[in-house]
Chain A
Amino acid sequence: DGGITQSPKYLFRKEGQNVTLSCEQNLNHDAMYWYRQDPGQGLRLIYYSQIVNDFQKGDIAEGYSVSREKKESFPLTVTSAQKNPTAFYLCASSIVGGIGNIQYFGAGTRLSVL
């Protein structure tokens, strides 16, 4: 099946710990994105990447880091510098240069702080 796989579905972080969220896609999309969603709120862009080995900060990049070493993979690390990490994290991907920036989403990872 083609799609976007996020893992794990649930993740718990201890104080001072870095955690990494996985996002893999087999849609052959060039662009990938990470969003944060808080209860009752919309999606806020953390980081995005339009090509391998390149990525840009979104609106709320502080306390997060990413890498894009492979086209299919775009892991997000929530660092200890992110003081309020509890949220629902969504990964998406899209074609670059297509008509409209239609993004397809994974099922999300819910991160909680212990």
Chain B
Amino acid sequence: GQQLNQSPQSMFIQEGEDVSMNCTSSSIFNTWLWYKQEPGEGPVLLIALYKAGELTSNGRLTAQFGITRKDSFLNISASIPSDVGIYFCAGDNTDKLIFGTGTRLQVFP
């Protein structure tokens, strides 16, 4: 099955640093979603993007829906220890989501 290309695969950063990750696809999507998963838990929705070019913020998180509709970016500003987890992008393929391979984020104090 199709999976989206997500990079980087993992990040080790110091508290206070900004983080950027992205997701690319060979297919066009009408909706892009970003989820965060903490160890042993299910993914939790962070941001939903519905229009090409859309830029949406949720606190320290900012995500963008690429103009080509084939990519999306997530930025986290001023990281804190509770940002630790795996971040997944997902594209809406009408009746199901296609997920990225995930970016594992570690934040050191």
Chain A residues close to B by CB (< 8 Å): 4, 6, 31, 33, 40-45, 48, 50, 58-60, 90, 92, 99-108, 110
Contacts and interface: CB of A to CB of B under 8 A. Distances in A.
A100 B33 CA distance: 9
A92 B95 CA distance: 13
Most buried by B among A58, A60, A101: A101
Nearest to B3: A42
Interface residues of B, number: 28
B43 to A, nearest CB: 5
B99 A100 contact: no
B21 interface: no
A77 B21 CA distance: 36
Interface string B24-38: 000000110101000
Interface stretch (B12-20, B44-52, B66-74, B77-85): B44-52
Most buried by B among A40, A92, A106: A40
A58 B99 CA distance: 13
Contacts of B90: 103
